[in-house]
A and B are shown apart, each in its own frame.
Chain A
């Protein structure tokens, strides 16, 4: 840098310091219209209507558009000063409670505008719509189920926020303001004679209400879950549990499957007589590993449907299946029990058929498929203890190759056995 340039810079700084007023007066970037709101609305006249709405976002009302928008350039849509969620968090930084046990996904993702209008709305908290309608915009399946339910939980018809915290909860899962039963007993007094009588005098105020009741709605009276175990429906809790006045009223009269065997003897005995047991059937929780002993949303008192239930334990298998592009149809539709017997089986992998060939034959006609030798007489050339069967070439769940083949090319597959043709 030459001495002349340095001198010029120093002079400029001195002039600016000594004559600030004159510099401001000559500022070529000053707004023609000093009122920022008026300046913006000159080009955005549609905001006139917005500003007439019942609830207007504070910076909008104050005309401070640049609180959220950069008037010149931005890397974000709508000239937002920062990413959408971050803009909101600059003022609303405490919507997610510390030590949150559950957080609304859209909040975590910073998608505030999924629920709120950033400018103005006729609804409280600048919400896009009021009541449960807003929630059902995304939670369509739940909304449809509640709509179709014969009996609906009163608060659900009015506002989901009676029970749920919209942003996050530091009290419970599922954004609940409190966990059950504490949340439920705020409205439902558990010490009234009527309540006690309906629950056969069992001290249910300390147990999980959602073990029997659907908090949203149900086709069963008293909002019982749709599939109800007969002793619950008949109010004969003491078939399974000790007397309500006993020291441990919720203790079961028998442990494990012995309790279920009392009524389901035929099924339990048939299960135990099979060669290969799905071992959880015989453990401490036994049937309750998969079935809810009181009531459930799904048929056969299952805790979940199809693969969702199996995923509870077999998550690694489900994940492997999810990763392959070519899936067996029953697998893709989550019907594990199309091939696997959930209680016990005669064969390995809980396949209740004498062979996988027989199993596949229940859906597929091999004669229509190939003339390749297969079955008990077709010894696998790779291992004389194995027989050529469907799984010699295909994988039961799926693979990354067409027709669920074990290898990418038929040559690679066939030459495993027909090795003399391998090059």
Chain B
């Protein structure tokens, strides 16, 4: 009976967490924790990436130290802090956990995607197979959907390459012709692909089977005071990190402006050049607070 009760409470918590995030109006980010170092007390240096899963695990791309560090967040308590040093991954700048619990990382220096086993050991470098020419691919960002398919933002050829979990080419989406510089890609559970035009201050979307991107919400310059660089989606909300402005700006799935949160500063709860954002099923929002060399965890609440 106790187990059943626990399961019910857990399910209710998940649903409520979801509701908290879905309730767009008035959503706020409330600081839960700021994380500065691994279990041995070795501090982060300019971390640019953070990934999270629904089991409470979160992984930090400690870019300046060329390593990953794994933690768990349960009941508001941060635990763990194991360091993962992988020879094949020297400058992790973006992370995501796939459905198997594998850690997928973009190496900003070698500009390739590296896959690690759930225990953090090296598994493979993603080999893109059957991609149309040109042969050179420069991945600026990537996203993984629920089936572990890859969406690789190839800035060299101005396209999003969609591959299966093994890297086999499925299709290519050309970046919008009027986009000035696309800096990020995201995908939601319906497999709608989003891209962020940092310079043009625009969002674009391509539905699951669409062959091209279409603008979302028009010119967002009114809402994005400075150049945005990172983006992610979670249950109908698009989160955009504004580097120089040090804010998190949220938009609806149709590009409607929802909110602008947080400001520049060094105090906990403030940001300095935020980079990757990850949101788990409990509506816990992990932000790589790059220039403050820390990870900040917020709860999205109404």
Contact = CB atoms under 8 A, between A and B. Distances in A.
Answer yes or no: are A and B bound together in one complex.
yes
Interface of A: 254-256, 258, 272-277, 279-280, 282-284, 313-314, 316-317, 348, 382-386, 416
Contact of B181 (A254, A274, A313, A416): A313
Contacts of A313: 180-181, 199
B201 to A, nearest CB: 9
A255 B44 contact: no
Contact of B155 (A258, A272, A284): A284
Contact of B36 (A256, A282, A385): A385
Contacts of B45: 385
B253 interface: no
10 contacts: A256-B136, A256-B157, A274-B109, A279-B140, A283-B155, A284-B156, A317-B226, A348-B290, A382-B267, A385-B36
A315 to B, nearest CB: 9
A383 B36 contact: yes
B102 to A, nearest CB: 25
Contact of A317 (B37, B244, B266): B244
A388 to B, nearest CB: 12
B136 A258 contact: yes
A276 to B, nearest CB: 7
Interface string B163-189: 000000000000000001101000000
A274 B108 CA distance: 9
B244 A348 contact: no
A386 B45 CA distance: 8
Given A256-B136, A280-B181, A282-B156, A383 B292 contact: yes
B212 interface: no
Nearest to A273: B109
A279 B183 contact: yes
Given A275-B91, A282-B156, A385-B293, 7 more contacts: A256-B136, A282-B155, A317-B244, A383-B36, A383-B294, A385-B36, A385-B43
A-B pairs, 5 with minimum CB distance? A385-B293, A385-B43, A284-B158, A283-B155, A282-B138
Contact of A384 (B43, B140, B157, B183): B43
* B interface secondary structure, majority: loop
Report the contact-size class of chain B (Cβ under 8 Å from the partner).
Answer: 20 to 34
Nearest to B43: A385
B46 interface: yes
B26 interface: no
A256 B181 contact: no
Given A284-B156, A348-B291, A383-B266, A316 B225 contact: yes
Q: Which of A258, A314, A384, A385 has the most CB of B within 10 A?
A: A385
B19 interface: no
A384 B157 CA distance: 42
B268 to A, nearest CB: 9
B276 to A, nearest CB: 14
Contact of B266 (A283, A314, A382): A382
A322 to B, nearest CB: 15
B132 interface: no
Given A258-B136, A383-B36, A314 B294 contact: no
A254 B157 CA distance: 11
Contacts of A348: 46, 273, 290-291
Given A275-B91, A383-B36, A283 B294 contact: no
A396 to B, nearest CB: 12
B181 A255 contact: no
